[in-house]
Amino acid sequence: MKVAVVGVGAVGAATVLSLIERGGTCREIVLVDRNTDRAAGVAADMRYATPLSPTVDVRASDYDDLADAALVVITAGINEKTGGATDRSDPHGRLRLLETNAEVYADIVPQVVAVAPQAVLMVVTDPPDPLADLTRQLAGHQRVFSTGTLIDSLRFRVHLADRLRVRPRDVQAMVVGEHGTSEVLLWSSAAVGGIPVLDLLGRHANSVDDVREEIENSIRFANITIIEGTGASQYGIGAVSARLVEAVLRDERAVLPVAAYSPRYEVTLSLASVLGSGGVQQMLEPVMDAHERTALAESASTLRKAADHAIAIGTA
């Protein structure tokens, strides 16, 4: 199968490398970037790694080469550092990037759909959720989803595992809502081996509330911490993007916290989503306590305003 990556900056390149390293996910990877020299350079660099993996053809090309692509991953746009979204005290967070990146998507999405009308479209660019709403509007179909809060959920699991001294893969924990400052960490259902995480933390910490606040801040601002050290948050989201490509192409029906349009909330946001052929096939609402349910409603309200703004910019 053919997969395209549009936008070959830090995240796009990390996604391509993760696709190659996972092996066997796709037979062709096409790179498209407005900087054609960069796309060609990344493709050449990646091709030298392909002998170590199952057969895959990596090449730089243009939009015409997206015909027959099963899935198009869109990572183009400015990142938090370039767009000035690295202030922990700013409640808008990644939404600061919306206006610029909505204009980028208004240019890209029609070109993709013109040559690959059958493709599933995966939005990675920040802020991914309102950009997915814009993409759905521009594409004229529902085969659109964003990476949502999968990366946040993985971070949640890692921090809990560190505290409890267990493997992250043995922690069941989820973040829902916006991939951004209004995201909702589902503490009430987080567990290890069926044992509630809050009970386990109570055995290891003097103040569970202090631990919760510390973990929540680490997750909400993880991207800023990474950017302060490296200049770009790329490897984690690259691995996430490759995993999601795999779930779609293999029609796994994997249950993952990625974002698609929810008729109930009237916006794209993350819930427990069934991901397979065609994108998100079903959205399941996790068990939440009253506080979490209220927070999710507030997150949805934030996203609806952002989506309306994105659509107004992108369809003007």
Q: Which residues are catalytic?
A: 179
Q: What token pair was written down for 60?
A: 């730089």
| Whole-angstrom distance, CA of residue 158 vs CA of residue 134 | 32
For residues 315 and 305, give the distance between their C-alpha atoms in angstroms, rounded to a whole number.
16
Identify whether the C-beta of residue 44 lies closer than 8 Å to the C-beta of residue 92. no
59, amino acid identity: R
Residue 74 DSSP symbol: E
C-alpha distance across the termini of the chain, in Å: 35
CA 299 – CA 204 distance, rounded (Å): 31
- CB count, 10 Å around CB of 191? 17
Task: Decide: helix, strand or coil at residue 225.
Answer: helix
What's 286's DSSP letter? P
